[in-house]
Amino acid sequence: MLRLIAQRLGLGLLTLLAASVLIFAGTEILPGDLASAVLQNTATPESLAEMRKELGLDRPAAVRYVEWLGNAAVGDFGRSLASHRDVVEEIAPRLRNTLFLASYAALVAVPLAVALGLMAAIWQGGVYDRAVNFVTLLTISVPEYLVGYILIKYLSVHLGWFPSLANVTPDTPLVQRIGLTFLPMLTLVLVVVAHMMRMTRASVLQIMASPYIEMAFLKGLPKWRVVVRHAFPNALAPIINVIALDLAYLIVGVVIVEAVFVYPGLGQLMVDAVSKHDVPVVQACGLIFAGAFILLNLIADMAAILSNPRLRHPR
Amino acid sequence: MVELDYWHQQHAQGRIGRREFLGRAAALGAGAAVIGRMVADVEARAAETPRSGGTLRLGLAGGSTTDSLDPGTYTDSVMIDAGHALFNGLVEWRADGKPHPEIAESWEVKPGAAEWIFNIRKGVTFSNGKTLDADDVVYSLNMHRGKTKSGAAGPFKAVSDVKKLSPNQVQVTLASGDADFAYVLTDYHVLMVPDGFADWSKPVGSGGYILEKFDPGVRITAKRNPNYWKQGRAHVDAVDITVINDSSARLNALMTGQVDAINRVDPKFVRTVQKNPKFEIVRAPGGWHAVISMMHDRPPFDNHELRLALKYGIDREQVIRALFSGLATAGNDHPIPKTDPYWNSELPQIRYDADKAKFHMKKSGLTNPPLVLQCSDAAFSGAVQMAELFQQSAGKAGIRVQIKKEPADGFWDNVWLKGPFVTSYWGGRAAATQMLAVAYGPDAPWNESHFKNPRFTELLAAARAETDEAKRKPMIWEMQAILHDDGATIVPVFRDWLDGHNKNVGGHTPHGGFDMDNGYIAENAWLKS
């Protein structure tokens, strides 16, 4: 099993390397450059040339890639071209915010989705099953910004229960932070819950067709016990995979939700950086996002291996 | 009614007196009750006494993670507002449209307008305790000269020398006369810092507030400078700017009470906000204008008749309705807004006229010339829609305009100043001559329409060097007329600045220069409770 894990890790690193090439190439082929993006229509040819020289944009791309990768490997992502601040310093508080919101949403969404899915499997075909399927399908089909605006309209503007601005700062205390980020969290939960819930239901129901489940029923066990004790553990692998994908989405795909709630996360930083051609920041964000995706999938693979006794104890 | 609103604003900003307002309003046929209410409104505002204290929370569009506190890099509201809170300029451009003393206590201009002497105010200290003197002013002005990436580098090209005459006197010499140079100094990039200062992460200024935290593109907080030299300014204890670029999120933040004031209210929602008694819209007609620019020297746009055909071919009123919900003013194909004292009031307003467009098209002798309009919302939000409306209205006159949507990315680099037929915009300038010179001057690097007209060139130089108001006015009027007839730029609309605040905010004045009282909001506004 160790060999299997080492193999996965190696493949993960290789994928990351390939992603780094893509990210670097992607930032190279963007039209325009940082100097013109920052100066907009206040640029003169002299101020443009001055800025490009200062930023080192006049050197060949291959040289800059090798230099960048070498530095990134030791955790140095250089300085932001626009603000001259250390990229790591610039990204760290944003990454913390993103991870906070993702964990907050995951802590609510994962247990909720699994519980809803199991209940749907137990009462398959009943009113509850249909209702929960319909509602979650609705929330996943409505674009997330609209979900956000609807929540703001009712929970913030009309009822005044939660703030519409999630403008947290690094010194916001945890309790206040949980309140400020409640609406963005709820939006994300509504968006991801359907996916995980439906996968839980489907994979449990698939297992429910196996002969050993029939055996369990014949023993006289109640349905909930069969579902939770006998079917669910064997249905875990696909559920874990979907959860991993959704967690990755919560980290890398929430830029619209960030914009609606003015939440200072990593996505907003990356969009700003792209529009201003702040290449070091874009590259660092890209690498972090790629890393998050690869890491979560790796964890999902390993968890699937661990949940499968045949893989856990190979003969 | 729009016209009446306009004069009401002018009255509120102190640009016209009460007597003139009454005359104008009556001439428009407004009822006595309406006029009376408007006068009472202005007088009630003037009678309000500022109150000190509280935290002014602003939700502003126009901020980015790449923002820096270096004044030379400012391009948008968030940094402009923060800059005016932390630093002082030499000269302040107030809502009445005139330059007022700030760090420069007074100034003197030599005949020919090429030599300017500024008397520097005594007793101003920076936030680090240093007293401000002529050396600081010379250094601060020189930041925009020579090899620099400052946004004020263009207007400062005309400066040939800056020198200290005494600890409280600075002389600025210009390569050629500019009677409006004091207006150039009201540029938001031109802010005073101590001699040799360069560490922008810890700014030292003489402004009404001292920086507490700066998180670019997210939040800026500052507290009141207890030793501020200006009397009756900087009323609140602290300013808290949250960057909210999303227009709906900004309005939500205002409506839910999380911020006190916002900029750039979406014109579509202005009526909604006005209906709510807790909020108020601050509307300021100003110099910002949309532009469709042709190149004067490039075929087919070198054809005068074709240019006229296109000018008659755009339905300005429709653009105003569709893009700005009526909260804008039709342009007359020159860059001087109605709010400018030098606005030519006798020039006939050009209107959409399919027959005239057809007539001039025929007269041009061209059949189906290639008219490819390169547009992008990078120019301004709505530029593509404007291009589409233009395509339709010109189409009705039988003129075929093709639209080419350009990527927003790199628009200013790859399309603007390069394409012969593009959408663009101009922020207003404080002085009419400055606006005319920057966009239409014969040697101006940003002369996007390649406009060259010997009479215009001659008038521009003469008007800039002329200090006699009576002689300048006809020159500036004639330049507007030349652009209106011969220019290669279509100026469909001047947009109004639309800020919003809850009624607890006082002293939030409409200013034609830029949103949020031309960036002076932190200095001028107060909280009533």
pLDDT in tens, chain A (315 residues): 677 778 888 888 899 899 988 988 887 777 666 666 656 555 667 777 777 776 666 777 787 788 888 888 888 887 777 677 788 888 888 899 999 999 999 999 999 998 888 888 888 888 888 888 888 888 888 888 888 888 888 888 788 888 888 888 888 888 888 888 899 999 989 888 888 888 888 888 888 888 888 888 888 888 888 888 888 887 888 888 888 888 888 888 788 888 888 888 888 888 888 877 777 888 888 888 888 888 888 888 888 878 777 777 766
- Residue B471 CA, chain-centre distance (Å), reads 26
**pLDDT score recorded for residue B37:** 67
What's the pLDDT at B473? Answer: 93
Chain B residues lying within 8 Å of A264, measured CB to CB: 215, 217-219
Q: In this model, does residue B12 exceed pLDDT 70?
A: yes
Residue B291's pLDDT band, with cuts at 50, 70 and 90, is very high
How many Cβ atoms from other residues are within 10 Å of residue B275's Cβ? 8
Amino acid at site B383: A
Judgement on whether residues A32 and A155 belong to the same structural domain of the protein: no
The mean per-residue pLDDT over the stretch B417-424 comes to 92
A261 and chain B in contact, CB less than 8 A: yes
Domain boundary among A39, A73, A107: A73
B201: distance to nearest CA of chain A, Å?
9
Distance CA A109, CA A190 (A): 8
Tokens of B74: 């400012």
- Give yes or no: residues A179 and A127 share one domain: yes
Q: Give this prediction's pTM.
A: 0.82
| Contact of B108 with B211, CB cutoff 8 Å | no
Instruction: Provide mean pLDDT across the span B86-106.
Output: 92
Residue A301's domain comprises: 94-312
Q: What radius of gyration, in Å, describes the C-alpha atoms of chain B?
A: 23
A243 in a domain, yes or no?
yes
Kindly report the nearest CA distance between residue A276 and chain B, in angstroms: 7
**Distance (Å, rounded) from C-alpha B490 to C-alpha B338?**
16
Contacts of A169 in chain B (CB under 8 A): 213, 215, 219
A38 interfaces chain B, CB cutoff of 8 Å: yes
Asked whether residue B223 carries a pLDDT value surpassing 90, the answer given is yes
Q: Of the candidates B64, B219, B259, which has its C-beta nearest A276's C-beta? A: B64
Q: What pLDDT was estimated at residue A28?
A: 75
For residues A173 and A295, state if they share a domain: yes
Mean pLDDT of chain B: 90
For residue B420, which of B383, B371, B487 has the smallest C-alpha distance?
A: B371
Inside any domain, residue A86 = no
Give A 284-303 residues with CB within 8 A of chain B: none
Same structural domain, A57 and A176: no
A267 in any annotated domain = yes
Mean pLDDT of B266-287: 91
Contacts of B338 (CB under 8 A, 6+ apart): B6, B285, B329, B494
Is the model's pLDDT at B35 over the cut of 70?
no
Residue from B218, B415, B418 to probe the interface with A (highest A Cβ count within 10 Å): B218
Examine the domain organization and report whether A250 and A299 are in the same domain. yes
Name every residue whose Cβ is closer than 8 Å to that of residue B246 and which is 6 or more positions away in sequence: A259, A260, A262
Cβ neighbours for B405, distance < 8 A, ≥ 6 positions apart: B375, B376, B384
Instruction: Look at residue A216 in the predicted model and tell me its pLDDT.
Output: 82
Q: Which residue has the higher pLDDT, B99 or B379?
A: B99
CATH number of the domain within which A274 lies: 1.10.3720.10
> Which member of B213, B217, B252 has the closest CB to residue A156?
B252
Structural domain includes residue A217: yes
Cβ–Cβ pairs < 8 A, chains A and B: 136
Question: Which of A73, A102, A130 corresponds to the end of one domain?
Answer: A73
Q: Is B259 part of the contact surface with chain A (CB cutoff 8 Å)?
A: yes
Q: Does B275 touch chain A (CB under 8 A)?
A: no
User: Is residue A259 domain-shared with residue A290, that is, in the same domain?
Assistant: yes
A279 touches chain B (CB under 8 A): no
Distances in Å between the alpha carbon of A121 and those of A126, A198, A225?
10, 10, 12
Task: Choose between B507 and A35: higher pLDDT.
Answer: B507
Residue type, B34: V
Same domain, A56 and A106: no
Question: Is the confidence at residue B361, as pLDDT, over 80?
Answer: yes
Asked if residue A127 and residue A202 are part of one domain, the reply reads yes
pLDDT of the residue at B294: 95
CA gap B119, B422 in Å, rounded:
44
Sign of torsion over alpha carbons B192, B195, B200, B206: negative
Is residue B130 scored above 80 in pLDDT?
A: yes
Q: Are residues A47 and A162 in the same domain?
A: no
Q: Do A40 and B75 touch (CB under 8 A)?
A: yes
| Same domain flag for A137 and A268 | yes
Provide the residue type at A143 as one letter: P
Residue A30 and residue B246: Cβ atoms within 8 Å? no
What does chain A look like in DSSP terms, one character per residue?
Answer: -HHHHHHHHHHHHHHHHHHHHHHHHHHHSSSS-HHHHHHGGG--HHHHHHHHHHHTTTS-HHHHHHHHHHHHHTT---B-TTT-SBHHHHHHHHHHHHHHHHHHHHHHHHHHHHHHHHHHHHTTTSHHHHHHHHHHHHHHHS-HHHHHHHHIIIIIIIS--S-S-----TT--HHHHHHHTHHHHHHHHHHHHHHHHHHHHHHHHHHHTSHHHHHHHHTT--HHHIIIIIIHHHHHHHHHHHHHHHHHHHHHS-HHHHHHHT---HHHHHHHHHHTT-HHHHHHHHHHHHHHHHHHHHHHHHHHHHH-HHHHS--
Q: Does B373 touch chain A (CB under 8 A)?
A: no
Q: What whole-number distance in Å separates Cα of residue B265 and Cα of residue B268? A: 8
B349 secondary structure, DSSP code: P
Classify the phi-psi angles of B224: left when phi > 0, otherwise alpha if psi is within -120 to 50, otherwise beta.
beta
Chain A residues within 8 A of B258 when measuring between CB atoms? 163-165, 167
> What percent of chain B clears pLDDT 70, i.e. is strictly above it?
95
Whether residue A188 is contained in a domain is answered as: yes
A165:B258 CB<8 A: yes
A43 and A126, same domain (yes or no) = no
The single-letter code of the amino acid at B276 is N
In a domain, A6, yes or no: yes
Position B1 pLDDT exceeds 60 = no
Say if CB A68 and CB A61 are below 8 A apart: no
Q: Between these two residues, A304 and B353, which has the higher pLDDT value?
A: B353
Query: Which of B201, B215, B412 comes nearest A41 by C-beta?
Result: B412
* Segment of A182-196, B157-171, B438-452 carrying the highest mean pLDDT: B157-171
Residues A61 and A23 in one domain: yes
Mean pLDDT, residues B145-158: 85
Q: How many domains does chain A have?
A: 2
Inter-chain contact B66–A272, Cβ cutoff 8 Å?
yes
**Three-class SS state of B281:** strand
Shortest CA distance from B189: residue in chain A: A42
Q: What is the pLDDT of residue B499?
A: 94
- Domain finish residue from A73, A104, A133: A73
Distance from CA of B296 to the nearest CA of A (A): 20
Q: Using an 8 Å CB-CB cutoff, list chain A residues near B253.
A: 164-165, 262
Whether residue B147 lies within 8 A of chain A, CB to CB, comes out as: yes
Residue at A78 is within a domain:
no
Question: Which positions 115-174 of A are in contact with B (Cβ < 8 Å)?
Answer: 149, 152, 156-157, 160, 163-165, 167, 169
Arithmetic mean of pLDDT, B464-491: 93
Query: Is residue A290 domain-resident?
Result: yes
